[in-house]
Amino acid sequence: MGETEQPKVLASTQVATGPARIIADPHRELGRFLEVGGFAQSYVKLDEPTFLWADYSMWVATVIDTVGAKDAPLRVLHLGGGGMTLPRYVHGVRPNAIQTVVEMDGPLVEFVREHLPLPEGSRVDIVVGDAVEVLAGLPDAEFDIVISDVYAANQTPRGTACLEYAQQLSRVLRPEGTCVVNVLDVEGLVMTRLHAAALNTVFEDLCVVSAHTPNVKRFLNIVMAATNSASGLPYPAISDAAVHHDTEVALIHGDDLAPVIAGVEPLRAQD
């Protein structure tokens, strides 16, 4: 939305994390922004579940696109739901996927269900609860993809940067599974470095898929992917997927990760 445009508010309410509004996209019919606490949290296009507006969602999609065979009935866990942009995308590209979404804000879930309904036929189970706590209670080796996109008060919570959280991500993944972590950070990238240090300790292969740079905006999205698969992450396939999504990926991994994690000790839950 342009700075001088007056937003067309289609619905508003108070949710657990602040005031929430759904705003019409003036440029795309059935395009909707979900705003929570004064910040744009999600974008969905109700008639086109695979449409992605935000850079970070495209970066996550480049990894989703490379996991498993195209007709495989993937099991997908989303830690953090918001407007359900990524569950919609997964349904659009993998319609037989079975998805679980964990979202801590119950009133937000109901607001989204009413005004931004999921596509018909999508197999999405929504669990209201704290992502860290719910994750700890899930079965071992249950999911092909885990997407961690958790934040509160417009920042990624410290609990998702802990070594124990990374260990839980690994535990619920199948042996060939992949996790994707979106970190909302600020200049200095403290939260990014903590997440990377924890993930690098637990997983065999870790990659910074792509990231905003500090001169782009105040709040920065950094997307990382990790796996314990013997074959590692499929870097050529991720690059090809980026071309399809008309986005750019950095794919920083191996020795090139050293500047990201140098001198950073993994955070423990008791710290």
Q: List pLDDT tens digits, range 236-271.
A: 999 999 999 999 999 999 999 999 999 999 999 887
Weakest mean pLDDT among 62-71, 111-120, 146-155: 146-155
Q: What is the mean pLDDT of residues 6-31?
A: 95
Cα separations (Å) of 242 from 82, 87, 208, 256? Answer: 24, 19, 14, 20
Q: What share of the chain is helix, strand, coil (3-state, %, to 5)?
A: 30, 30, 40
pLDDT classification of 188: cutoffs 50, 70, 90:
confident
Alpha carbon dihedral 235, 248, 198, 219, in 10-degree steps, equals -170
Q: Angle, to 10 degrees, between the axis of helix 163-172 and the axis of helix 190-202?
A: 50
From CA 207, how far away is CA 212, in angstroms rounded?
15
Q: What is the mean pLDDT of residues 58-75?
A: 94
State the residue for tokens 């314990």. Answer: 228
State the residue for tokens 């997908």. Answer: 76
CB 98 within 8 A of CB 77: no
From CA 79, how far away is CA 234, in angstroms rounded?
23
DSSP state string for 18-49:
EEEEEEE-TTSTTEEEEEETTEEEEEEETT-T
| Phi-psi sector, 153: left (phi>0), alpha (psi -120 to 50), beta | left
pLDDT at 46: 98
pLDDT at 187 exceeding the cut of 90: no
Average pLDDT, the chain: 94
pLDDT classification of 213: cutoffs 50, 70, 90:
low
Nearest Cα neighbor of 104 from 127, 85, 135 is: 127
Q: What is the mean pLDDT of residues 17-28?
A: 96
pLDDT at 39: 87
pLDDT classification of 182: cutoffs 50, 70, 90:
very high
DSSP state string for 185-196:
E-TT-HHHHHHH
Fold for 52-261, please state it: Rossmann fold (3.40.50)
Q: Is the dihedral of CA 233, 237, 239, 243 positive or negative?
A: negative
Per DSSP, 118 falls in state P
